[in-house]
Amino acid sequence: MPGNPPLADFDQPLDMLQDCHRRVERFLAMLARAGDEAPSPLDVEWRNALHAALEYFANAAPLHTQDEEHSLFPRLRTHANRPDVATALEVVERLEHEHDEAAILHAEHDRIGRSWLARGGVDAADRRRFVELSTRLQAIYVEHIRAEDEHVFVTARSALGSDELKAIGDEMRARRETARVGTLTD
């Protein structure tokens, strides 16, 4: 995937999730800039940048959501008797709804972006909608990422044991290996 290489590895799953947040921010900013600045027809530089960002949100970002919803959040729930975890789980409920909302917005964003790539250009109505979607996604993610980085992940670091963190990292690795194999056989 384009972008900076991860700073953490699967032995540090919470750090790896935070690294992913930096990529989300960077690719969202690029999509917003594309909506505002990309020429129509697209030049090679903008085509490559738009393609990379759309691919990131179509392929890598869903793995991140699965990492949280299928690995991290369920393990936090097993510690719900701790007051700090109980508070974090209230935030998690909101985050899960935001994942659903963002997925719907990303699907439309992707449809417009892929059409833009295929045609080399975008009409005024689709460009406006692309900008609206970019703005909405950035608004969701700024608070979403802050809540995860500053609250949920901090709580997870204190609540989860090394075996739980290792299991999360192993599951994250397996998801990516499965995704990689899937793209080779499709």
> Considering the domain boundaries, does residue 4 fall inside one?
no
pLDDT over 50 at 186, yes or no: no
How does pLDDT run across 29-39, given as a tens digit for each residue? 999 999 999 99
| pLDDT for the residue 8 | 78
pLDDT band with cut points at 50, 70 and 90 for residue 185: very low
Task: Please answer whether residues 126 and 44 qualify as being in contact, where contact means their C-beta atoms are separated by less than 8 angstroms.
Answer: no
Q: Which residue has the tokens 């972006």?
A: 113
Closest CA to 145 of 109, 100, 99, 108: 99
Q: What CATH number does the domain containing 104 carry?
A: 1.20.120.520
Q: Based on the structure, what is the number of domains in the chain?
A: 1
3-state secondary structure of 118: helix
pLDDT over 70 at 181, yes or no: no
Q: Considering just the CA atoms, what is the radius of gyration of the chain in Å?
A: 18
Q: Determine the Cα–Cα distance for residues 175 and 144; give it in Å rounded to an integer.
A: 23
Percent of the chain at pLDDT > 70 equals 93
Q: How far is CA 130 from CA 36, 55, 74, 115, 170, in A?
A: 9, 16, 34, 11, 36
How does pLDDT run across 135-173, given as a tens digit for each residue? 999 999 999 999 999 999 999 999 999 999 999 999 999
pLDDT over 50 at 1, yes or no: no
Look up the domain containing 46 and give its range: 13-181
> Considering the domain boundaries, does residue 186 fall inside one?
no
